[in-house]
Amino acid sequence: MGKTFDIGLDRLTGAGVPAIETTAGGGLKPPLQEAGTFYLETFGCQMNEHDSEKVAGVLLARGYRQVETPEAAKVILYNTCSIREKAAQKVFSRLGELRPSTVDSRQATAREGERGFNTEDAEEGHRGHGDASVDQNGMRVAAGAQPGMAVPQGGMLNTRKLVNAAGGKIIGVLGCVAQQEGEEIFERAPWVSLVCGSASYRKLPQLIAELEAGNRRVTGLDTDTEETFETEITRRDNPFRAYLTIIEGCDKACSYCVVPFTRGPERSRASASILDEVRQLAEMGYSEVQLLGQTVNSYADPSGRKMRFSELLVAVAEVPGIRRVRFTTSHPRDFGKDIVEAIEAYPAICDHVHLPVQSGSTAVLRAMARTYTRQEYLEKIALVKAARRAISITTDIIVGFPGETEKDFAETLSLMEEVQYDGAFCFKYSPRPNTPSLTMEDALPEEEKSRRLAILLDRQREIQRAKNEKLIGVVLEVLVDGKSRKPGQWSGHTSSNRVLNFSSQAENILGDYVQVRVVSATPNSLVGEMVKSGQR
Ligand code: SAM
Ligand code: SF4
């Protein structure tokens, strides 16, 4: 066995231990008394998941303790996603579950009717006819989901119990829906008292203190901040892969996308601060880190070092103890040969690039304001495919953008055929507030979008099946991150981010890097048997 693998999860989850504070020197000390309890549920992408880790860190550092249920919490927070309509609806459906009995139900119903605030619709949308994706992790992801989307922690609430106990609770909406809807949330759900966008999370303890001091409603909605959301501590949920945001916001202006409105302008974090955090993570026992940003490769080091993104990748890969470096999401316009060269030169940089194309038609790409043509995108793909080691490529695709013709759609299918993606997240176009595409003509009917989505998913599934079957017989290195209830059954991720379920009679291999021979394959995962144990 290698070094011990202690990431201080107990301490950072706040479960069953006193809440913590930082000292002036950055160390941790127990607070004099607990400030309160909070429940935090997350919707949306990996960036939201990681923002929640930081929100939890900010609150834990101020003496709050995290609890598992809204019923047990003094502060209930929803970190929200508004990338597609169904995702935003889901949040209002959750808020509906928290409606206190004192709110005039006729008033609330009238408001809900105006804005389609309807629990059943949102639930149906989430489970049923929405977007879906085939990703390497074996998921057909339901409406509103994105790469890396997690199942909300809370499950269904006991509404009656919560409503009866609701007096004195602080209910807050964070993230993209907060930024997008702003104070209107107070109109739609008057029992909410805190609304805070992602650029203002650092102010959360202050906002909560204002509410406790008697303010009825507080907001943190600035986006014109230079700040990146760096925290003294981050409560980490994944014991095997640590996430770091290196760039916040987005300066691109894709015509369908709310992110520039909800997350504000691009702000990159200084390279020295990123590398400090990576070193700390390595000391805690993490060997895999994932750099995050809406356009991660548009990173522009604000410090005098002026590190390029590819140089940062290399510097992270060189930190002692780091064995895997991932990054997502790359924007095709800023994707260059230097990134491929860094991957080639450093085995620690994982052989996986997520490069969203959105459409295979240059006309649609132009309408989307994606800033590249089909041909230019394919040139970037050619760079990746020319690498000395195989690099897996995944993508995002939107079908049914306004004005997308049958011919445009056929071009998306042909691009998919040409690239042979290892995974694809496919979405039906969803009109979003404030975005230029909202007023574009020639909107497609939902049924047509669904039809195109189904065709795309079926084709992608077959491509994945064929690609995964080619791996049968190959030995791959896996970071073991899961143990089945069935004895001797484990799972892990390959460098290319494939899920590999395997058998081994070894004990206690969670967190180890082991060699596994692939024996069978499905479109979404691989099955194998361990041939060599490894080390942490
Ligand atoms: N910044 C990344 C990029 O440029 O590719 C993507 C970030 S976005 C959170 C994730 C994906 O959601 C996008 O790649 C796009 O496919 C999808 N998406 C964004 N807005 C959408 C909309 N209005 N309707 C449907 N899908 C959308
Ligand atoms: Fe949205 Fe485009 Fe920015 Fe990606 S690059 S976050 S799709 S605006």
Ligand 2 pocket residue status of 293, Cβ below 6 Å: no
- Name the residue of 223, 257, 263 to mutate for ligand 2: max ligand atoms within 8 A of Cβ: 257
Phi, psi for 137 (deg, rounded to 5): -85, 10
Ligand 2 pocket residue status of 257, Cβ below 6 Å: yes
Task: Compute the half-sphere exposure of residue 360: CA atoms within 13 Å on the CB side of its CA.
Answer: 20
Q: How confident is the model at residue 132 (pLDDT cuts 50, 70, 90)?
A: very low
Ligand nearest 329 Cα, by number?
1
Ligand 2 pocket residue status of 126, Cβ below 6 Å: no
Tell me the CA–centroid distance for residue 301 and ligand 1, in Å. 25
Residue nearest to atom 5 of ligand 2 (CA): 252
CA distance 276 to 265: 24
Ligand 1 pocket residue status of 257, Cβ below 6 Å: yes
Tell me the CA–centroid distance for residue 224 and ligand 1, in Å. 22
pLDDT tens, position by position, 24-48: 333 444 455 677 899 999 999 899 9
CA distance 143 to 123: 10
- Name the residue of 48, 295, 296, 359 to mutate for ligand 2: max ligand atoms within 8 A of Cβ: 295
Q: What is the pLDDT of residue 33?
A: 64
Ligand 2 pocket residue status of 84, Cβ below 6 Å: no
Is residue 7 scored above 50 in pLDDT?
Answer: no
Tell me the CA–centroid distance for residue 168 and ligand 2, in Å. 39
pLDDT tens, position by position, 55-108: 999 999 889 999 999 999 999 999 999 999 998 899 999 999 888 765 554 444
CA distance 420 to 461: 11
pLDDT tens, position by position, 44-67: 989 999 999 999 999 998 899 999
Ligand 1 pocket residue status of 247, Cβ below 6 Å: no
What is the reported pTM? 0.85
- Name which of 393, 524, 396, 391 is nearest 465 in CA terms: 524
CA distance 257 to 254: 6
Tell me the CA–centroid distance for residue 174 and ligand 2, in Å. 20
Q: What are the DSSP calls for 320-350, one per residue?
A: TT--EEEEE---GGG--HHHHHHHHH-TTB-
pLDDT tens, position by position, 430-445: 999 999 999 999 999 9
Supply the mean pLDDT for the chain.
84
* Cβ neighbours of residue 492 closer than 8 Å, sequence gap 6 or more: 478, 479, 480, 481, 482, 499, 500, 502, 514, 516
* Cβ neighbours of residue 445 closer than 8 Å, sequence gap 6 or more: none
Tell me the CA–centroid distance for residue 211 and ligand 2, in Å. 34
Residue 466's SS3 state is helix
Residue nearest to atom 20 of ligand 1 (CA): 257
Q: What is the pLDDT of residue 101?
A: 66
Phi, psi for 187 (deg, rounded to 5): -70, -45
CA distance 399 to 395: 13
Residue nearest to atom 16 of ligand 1 (CA): 396
* Cβ neighbours of residue 4 closer than 8 Å, sequence gap 6 or more: 285
**Quick one: which atom of ligand 2 is closest to the CA of 331?**
5
The larger pLDDT score, comparing residue 139 to residue 472, is at 472
Ligand 1 pocket residue status of 490, Cβ below 6 Å: no
**Quick one: which atom of ligand 2 is closest to the CA of 329?**
4
* Cβ neighbours of residue 111 closer than 8 Å, sequence gap 6 or more: 117, 187, 188
Tokens of 432: 């979003």
Is residue 399 scored above 70 in pLDDT?
Answer: yes
Residue nearest to atom 2 of ligand 2 (CA): 254
Residue 391's SS3 state is coil
Tokens of 395: 């993508």
**Quick one: which atom of ligand 1 is closest to the CA of 258?**
20
pLDDT tens, position by position, 372-388: 999 999 999 999 999 99
CA distance 99 to 101: 6
Most distant pair of Cα atoms in the chain: their distance: 66
Q: What is the pLDDT of residue 167?
A: 52
Q: What is the pLDDT of residue 234?
A: 86
Residue 366's SS3 state is helix
- Name the residue of 250, 255, 366 to mutate for ligand 2: max ligand atoms within 8 A of Cβ: 250
Tell me the CA–centroid distance for residue 294 and ligand 2, in Å. 7
The per-residue b/e assignment along 393-421, b for 16 or more CB within 10 angstroms, e otherwise, is bbbbbbbbbbbbeeebbebbbebbeebeb
Tell me the CA–centroid distance for residue 258 and ligand 2, in Å. 8
Residue nearest to atom 4 of ligand 2 (CA): 294
Q: Is the peptide bond before 329 cis (omega within 30 degrees of 0)?
A: yes
